[in-house]
Amino acid sequence: MAGKAGTAPTTYSPSPTQKTKTPIFKGEDLDWVRPDGRGFPECRPAFLRTGAVNAASGSAYVEIGNTKVIVSVFGPRESKKAMMYSDIGRLNCNVTYTTFATPVRGQGSDHKEFSSMLHKALEGAIILETFPKTTVDVFALVLESGGSDLPVVISCASLALADAGIMMYDLVASVSVSALGLNLVIDPILEEESYQDGSLMIACMPSRNEVTQLSVTGDWSTPKIHEAMQLCLDACSKLGEIMRSCLKNAASDSQD
Amino acid sequence: MGLPNASGDLSSEMEVDAFRRLFPLRFHERHLVESIRPDARPVGRARETTLALGAVASADGSALAKIGSTTMLAAIKMEVMTPSMESPDEGCIAIEFHMPPICSPIVRPGRPAEAAPVVSKQLSDTILSSGMINLKELSLVSGKVAWMAYLDIYCLDADGALFDAALLSAVAAFSHLKIPVVSLNDDGRVVVVSEEQEGGKLENEPVNKEKRKLTLSSIPFSLTCILHKNYILADPTAEEESIMETLVTVVLDSSGQLVSLYKPGGPVLAYSSAVQDCVALTRHRVKELQKILNEAMSDMEVD
């Protein structure tokens, strides 16, 4: 909606000066540091909170570095009329970005790929038999994209599901790793993701040691994949502990 | 109390929650008789309001406003455009209000909420007509380049009085806005001058070194009230809005001038005395909101 009458003029984002920034990754040698000064196997600080949206049955806000995500869970509620009868419950996921989430202003439209990835990552963890004939809606909004968006959305969504009291086998924690040359960096930021040679993401249920989703893209060798998976699984179990303690705190707060 | 309806007799035996769901109107009216509301507020008082500036690092200006549970996130992104022929020395503001599916059980993906375009238009009208922003300040090089300010407001939690919270977050985002320093390159395109370069010598002089902040004159603030019988309920929750449908939104600027008055129909007809009462309540509310905004801004300066 343009602020003035007439057709909206075309605009562009004043990108930083032509002089391209020196790439953060400097060749094959180990002599470089991450833009935010972290060690390679070090995750960004995480802030988690449940009950962010009162209108929803359950919700969570997760902030990992500059990546900020809100997830609301609605239901279990009646499935759409057109849906076939189903013995088990349905899961409906949707991921949207705000227009200001990305460095260049976007359209704020649905992210179809992430929506289906989120669905697949959660499906295995939820006990769908507990809500037959009904649907649980999981809606995510990425307020700010700072890298590793999908893993943050997945972890946040499982926290919101727990807040809504949906039965699950375990929480789903998710972490990704980027391969930059010979190095593996965990929990990459946007800048690192743009230079990466390959990426590996794991969503898993830490206390059952089961993986719900594994996605590998790019250039990987078998030993590297093993190393990256171990790195991710360790980080997932740590993130799982943080998520668990967040839920425990919320529960003890509500008792007081 | 002589209650003609059968529900009156039931009320003594029923649990409060059940009564609230089965006879919502009667439930609320019973409170109003005692001059109190279900959330323990007096009739004319607004909910607790908080404001946080700079919530989104990827935007040029942003603010998070919370009125009760209603939460709004506003962010401004500055882009460059060629100004129109009619007003070569003016920039532009594009305002959009979004209700993503996370904010309310009523909104589903692919089916936008009916309220969103209405609030969007109302906000756009209010902000542009209040004269808060001088569009000339958004000009960079007259006739050649000017700023287009994209203001996007996201409702994160919808619990009534959406317009009030959206307007508060919008004006707060404008007061937090810091325009990036830019220069014109040889091709006539505008490029951002990064902070490291600012100190050193530059190939092209920045065009807007002085104008980093907008001067906000006469900031608009609003209050939505429900008219129900003889009662005026300030700052309604979503539950109250769904039960008692007559809303009046008054927008006043910081000097107390009327910017807009909006009564979108409803079964209750507003008498001039009721409208005057709404304006009086808003006048009081404007002082509160101005104080909250000033506090949020001074908190920012300390950091």
> What pLDDT score does A247 carry?
94
Please give the single-letter amino acid code of residue A159. Answer: L
Q: B37 pLDDT band (50/70/90 cuts)?
A: very high
> What pLDDT score does B182 carry?
85
> What pLDDT score does B107 carry?
86
Rounded CA gap, B228 and B243, in Å? 10
Rounded CA gap, A51 and A30, in Å? 43
Q: Is the pLDDT of residue B93 over 50?
A: yes
Q: A199 pLDDT band (50/70/90 cuts)?
A: very high
Domain assignment present for A73: yes
> What pLDDT score does B202 carry?
57
Q: Structural domain tally of chain A?
A: 1
Q: Which long-range contacts (CB under 8 A, 24 or more apart) does B135-139 make?
A: B135/B87, B135/B90, B135/B91, B135/B92, B135/B93, B136/B89, B136/B90, B136/B91, B137/B91, B137/B211, B137/B214, B137/B215, B138/B90, B138/B91, B138/B92, B138/B93, B138/B214, B139/B83, B139/B89, B139/B90, B139/B91
Q: A23 pLDDT band (50/70/90 cuts)?
A: low
> What pLDDT score does B50 carry?
95
Q: Is the pLDDT of residue A195 over 80?
A: yes
Q: What is the mean pLDDT of chain A?
A: 87
Q: How far is CA B260 from the centre of its chain?
A: 14
Of A55, A99, A110, the CB nearest to B103: A55
Tokens standing for residue B269: 């007809």
Domain assignment of residue A176, given as a range: 46-255
Q: Is the pLDDT of residue B10 over 60?
A: no
| 8 Å CB contact of A66 and B94 | no
What is the nearest CA distance from B160 to chain A, expressed in angstroms?
A: 11
**How many other C-beta atoms can be found within 10 angstroms of the C-beta atom of residue B195?**
9
Q: A213 pLDDT band (50/70/90 cuts)?
A: very high
| 8 Å CB contact of B191 and A16 | yes
> Shortest CA distance to B287 belongs to which of B255, B260, B261?
B255
pTM equals 0.89
Q: Is the pLDDT of residue A224 over 50?
A: yes
DSSP A185: E
Report chain B residues whose CB lies below 8 A from the CB of A70: 102, 156
Rounded CA gap, B220 and B132, in Å? 7
Q: Which of residues 166-195 of B touch A (CB under 8 A)?
A: 180, 182, 185, 189-194
- How big is the CA angle at B98 (ends B113 and A189), to the nearest 5 degrees? 135
Q: Residue A52 is part of a domain; what is its CATH number?
A: 3.30.230.70
Rounded CA gap, A192 and A25, in Å? 8
Residue B73, C-beta contacts closer than 8 angstroms, at least 6 positions apart:
A98, A143, B55, B56, B62, B63, B64, B153, B154, B156, B169
Domain assignment present for A29: no
Q: Average the pLDDT over A165-178 and give the result.
A: 95
Domain assignment present for A16: no
**How many other C-beta atoms can be found within 10 angstroms of the C-beta atom of residue B5?**
11
What chain B holds in terms of domains, given with CATH numbers, is 38-178+213-302 (3.30.230.70), 180-212 (no CATH)
Tokens standing for residue B2: 């002589």
A175 close to A95: Cβ distance less than 8 angstroms: no
Q: Is the pLDDT of residue B303 over 70?
A: no
Q: Residue B275 burial by CB count (10 A; 0-12/13-18/19+): exposed, middle or buried?
A: middle
Q: Which of residues 243-302 of B touch A (CB under 8 A)?
A: none
> What pLDDT score does A4 carry?
42
Q: A18 pLDDT band (50/70/90 cuts)?
A: very low
In this structure, the strands spanning A183-186 and A134-144 are: unpaired
Whether A44 contacts chain B with CB within 8 A:
no
Q: Is the pLDDT of residue B15 over 70?
A: yes
ipTM above 0.95, yes or no: no
Q: Is the pLDDT of residue B76 over 80?
A: yes
Domain assignment present for A58: yes
Residue with the larger pLDDT of the pair B96 and A219: B96
Q: Residue B296 burial by CB count (10 A; 0-12/13-18/19+): exposed, middle or buried?
A: buried
> pLDDT tens digits for B273-286?
999 999 999 999 99
Domain assignment present for A21: no
Name the strand (E) or helix (H) holding B73: strand B70-81
Residue B272, C-beta contacts closer than 8 angstroms, at least 6 positions apart:
none
> Shortest CA distance to B282 belongs to which of B230, B236, B232, B234?
B234
Rounded CA gap, A96 and A149, in Å? 11
Whether A144 contacts chain B with CB within 8 A:
yes
Q: Average the pLDDT over B209-221 and give the result.
A: 83
Lowest-confidence pick of A118-122, A241-245, B31-35: B31-35
> pLDDT tens digits for A39-92?
888 899 999 999 999 999 999 999 999 999 999 999 898 887 777 888 899 999
What is the nearest CA distance from A9 to chain B, expressed in angstroms?
A: 7
Of A10, A54, A103, the CB nearest to B159: A54
Q: What is the mean pLDDT of chain B?
A: 87
* Phi, psi (rounded to 5 degrees) for A3: -70, -20
Report chain B residues whose CB lies below 8 A from the CB of A8: 94
Q: What is the dihedral of CA A77, A83, A84, A90, to 10 degrees?
A: -50
What is the nearest CA distance from B226 to chain A, expressed in angstroms?
A: 21
Residue with the larger pLDDT of the pair B10 and B98: B98
DSSP string, A218-240: E---HHHHHHHHHHHHHHHHHHH
Rounded CA gap, B135 and A112, in Å? 38
Report chain B residues whose CB lies below 8 A from the CB of A153: none
A38 close to A183: Cβ distance less than 8 angstroms: no
CA distances from B242 to A183, B108, B226, B249 (A): 57, 19, 11, 16
> Shortest CA distance to A43 belongs to which of A147, A121, A117, A154?
A147
CA distances from A190 to A34, A38, A40, A156, A174 (A): 12, 14, 15, 19, 17
> pLDDT tens digits for B152-203?
999 999 999 999 999 999 999 999 999 988 888 777 778 787 665 555 555 6
Whether B121 contacts chain A with CB within 8 A:
yes
Rounded CA gap, B232 and B242, in Å? 15
The number of CA neighbours under 13 Å toward the Cβ of B111 is 5
> Shortest CA distance to B154 belongs to which of B103, B115, B111, B94?
B103
DSSP string, B166-220: HHHHHHHHHHH--PPPEEE-TTS-EEEPPHHHHHS--SS-BS-SS--S----S-E
Report chain B residues whose CB lies below 8 A from the CB of A1: 94-96, 120-121, 124
> What pLDDT score does A1 carry?
40
> What pLDDT score does B4 carry?
47
In this structure, the strands spanning A183-186 and A173-180 are: antiparallel
DSSP B111: B
Rounded CA gap, B48 and B41, in Å? 10
> What pLDDT score does A16 carry?
59
3-state SS class at B17: helix
